[in-house]
Amino acid sequence: MRGFVHIRIDDRLIHGQVATRWSTGLKVNRIMVIDDAVAANDNEKAILRMAAPAGVNTSILPLEKAVANIQNGNYDGQRVMLIVKSPVTLVKMLEMGVQLLPVNIGNMSNRPGTTQYKKSVSMTPEEKAAVDRLLAAGIKVTAQMVPDDPATGIENFF
């Protein structure tokens, strides 16, 4: 993942914490969102672009196009923060041959059918299985809401 500096799972995608704390602290010049549904919705894309900080480019892409761009080295020389809503997307990327960086889980809202593992992290059985798959692949997965919080291994909450 040449050009990438951080991977975050956050079902809110681009929002205040990402725009101010994470992107500034990581000195990113691009925020990439990978989500098929959001990439197909012009209104949602416009809202996310407005939430991004000034001077930070956005890429809001469906999974297959994003993976092709990553594998083609389109982000070499940049500082990209990748955000997805679900760990399931990251497992799909892994299966498509993308070598992932460590993953930070920021917020996964409590929804019907989820189990709460941490105040800000609730997962469906499919999402929990995806996190387990990432861990089994040797990918470090931490839970950390903001950069000042300690990065705690997600397995400590299971």
15 is a catalytic site residue: yes
Catalytic entry in 3, 11, 15, 21: 15
* Chain CA centroid to CA 45, Å: 16
The stretch 71-98 carries a mean pLDDT of: 97
Q: Is the backbone of residue 20 left (phi > 0), alpha (psi -120 to 50) or beta?
A: alpha
- pLDDT on residue 44: 95
pLDDT class for 99, splitting at 50, 70, 90? very high
CATH architecture of 4-156: 3-Layer(aba) Sandwich (3.40)
Q: What are the angstrom distances between the C-alpha of 54 and each of 66, 81, 89?
A: 23, 15, 27
pLDDT tens digits along 32-50: 999 999 999 999 999 999 9
Q: What percent of the chain has pLDDT over 90?
A: 88
- pLDDT on residue 88: 98
The stretch 133-155 carries a mean pLDDT of: 94
Contact (Cβ atoms closer than 8 angstroms) between residue 120 and residue 158:
no
DSSP symbol at 140: -
Strand partners, 148: none
